[in-house]
A and B are shown apart, each in its own frame.
Chain A
Amino acid sequence: MEKTKTHASQHPLRLKISNLNFFYGPKQAVFGLSLDIPINRITALIGPSGCGKSTFLRTLNRMNETIRHTRVEGEVLLDGQDIHAMDVVGLRRRVGMVFQRPNPFPKSIYDNVAYGLRINGFSGRLDDLVEHSLRRAALWEEVKDYLKKSAFALSGGQQQRLCIARALAVDPEVLLLDEPCSALDPVTTAKIEELMFQLKDSCTMAIVTHNMQQAARASDFTAFMLDGKLIEHSETPKLFTTPSDPRTEAYITGRFG
């Protein structure tokens, strides 16, 4: 473990997770997990269904707190600050999230992107920031003439990019992506991956994915989880070519999960 961790630790860190435990009522879902997430890199979380990777991802912006009877132990540092000591609103502004299924609000495209800015009391030029966010999400050219139209008029892939634009509008340092492509076709998936690559300069990303090819293509670091525990974490090419744990090898070669 120590040897594989040093790779990510050589980069400056955005998030440092130490000994994280998570419980749904009496049932523990994450066990003593420690992980370093470096700045402006993409970290992929892979593992079989129910291994706790989404649960883990959702502890990073404290989304699990919206679920009753849950409990978290351990430390998560964002730029050296403990996220559990932070104001949750401020934390979620800095750590954005994109969900498994596109979930645009039943509002116009414009209002979707502007939502985060408005609720945070932003008082600058909304138009410019909406355009900027849509450009960052590679959606501007497709929607610039339809900004007042309902977000539901967009295709699934466009909706997901709109959700990314919505998350980017408040300019988060970290973007958490919870299986963002699982409801999309391969062409649209490729677009999202291309977009992630473009965003890397300005944003740290952590992506949960079922799709190992996607992790291999799109990420810089990969963490493999099994039964709520971190099994292996290293640079993506290394994890997929010469995994050090036999369970990692069994998973990536398709022997289970």
Chain B
Amino acid sequence: MSSPRLMWRKSLNHVMLSLTGVAAFGVVSILFLILGYLMWNGGASLSWSFFTQLPKPVGEVGGGMANAIVGSLKLLLLAAVMGLPVGLLAGVYLAEFGGNTFSFIIRYTADLLNGVPSIVIGIFAYSIAVLPVKHFSTLAGGVALGIMVIPITVRSTEEFLRAVPGSLREAAMALGASKWKTIATVVLPAASGGILTGMLLALARVAGETAPLLFTAFSNRFWSQGWGQPIASLPVMIYTYAIAPYDDWHRQAWAAGLVLLGLVLLSNLGARYILARTKVV
């Protein structure tokens, strides 16, 4: 009998199985470690005034980041307005009209754009939206985030549209619907839950971006004076506060981290909820 060999194979099996288990456990524990640490430190510093007050001048304890919370929301709104329609339409093109060399190029470009480091996108936004007017602005931050939203939206829209069965398209066209009418009245509604989910996830993804905002939206210790002026955002505030030499600012940075994570988590949950409710496809 090949008993030693069998023993060897069995023990190898055990070792490999344990290794994969340990790695999987590591992944989960890292996430929970971050979450727990954030809640421990951030939760203690979180107060009502964090949501309602402006940052206090250096040396004064207390204050909040109301301007940064509103700022992040305004930047995301801009990113949504600029990025989502382009991403949606390009995704429709790829899924419904693609299949040639041109669509291959678009798909490849979208993937490349998705891989471009966010700081590079920041430089680009800086050169087209900050340099010409010679000052930082909310709008420039929105441009940077909007560019980042596009490739994610393109690919998720395409995937969800492809999941719509071809028989539905045939049914609509057999009733005399044109291609565009078929897409607008049957295919898009059937995929709407998934597409919306993809969009929410894209926004959640860029909500935490810091680098492209550093030299586009910059930051602001007060309420922003309008779309053309610099604006505070949670990620940039975390960066500024975390490297500052004041203990009170460190506490505020933790709190801001927790709020940002809560925002992202909420949109993730919202996305899952929408997807679960519309499991048509």
Contact = CB atoms under 8 A, between A and B. Distances in A.
A211 interface: no
Contact of A119 (B170, B185, B190): B185
Contacts of B169: 66
Q: How large is the interface on A (under 10, 10 to 19, 20 to 34, 35 or more residues)?
A: 20 to 34
Contact of A103 (B168, B176, B185): B168
Interface string B171-205: 11111111001000110011000000000000000
Interface string A22-54: 000000000000000000000000000000000
A90 to B, nearest CB: 7
Nearest to A68: B99
A66 B176 CA distance: 12
- Most chain A beta-carbon neighbours within 10 Å: one of B167, B171, B176: B176
Interface in A149-168: 152, 163, 166-167
B265 interface: no
Interface string A110-145: 000001101110000000000000000000000000
Contacts of B266: none
A103 B190 contact: no
A118 B167 CA distance: 20
Give the interface SS of chain B, mostly helix, strand, loop or mixed.
helix
A97 interface: yes
Contacts of A152: 280
A83 interface: no
A104 B189 CA distance: 14
A166 B172 CA distance: 10
B199 to A, nearest CB: 20
Nearest to A100: B167
Nearest to A112: B171
A63 interface: yes
A237 B99 CA distance: 47
B117 interface: no
Interface string A48-73: 00000000000001010010100000
A105 interface: yes
| Those 10 A-B pairs whose CB atoms lie nearest each other, nearest first | A103-B167, A116-B175, A106-B280, A97-B174, A92-B176, A89-B176, A93-B176, A103-B171, A106-B190, A119-B177
19 contacts: A63-B174, A89-B177, A89-B178, A91-B176, A92-B176, A97-B174, A104-B171, A105-B168, A106-B190, A115-B172, A116-B176, A118-B185, A119-B175, A119-B176, A119-B181, A152-B280, A166-B175, A167-B175, A170-B176
Interface of B: 99, 165, 167-178, 181, 185-186, 189-190, 280-281
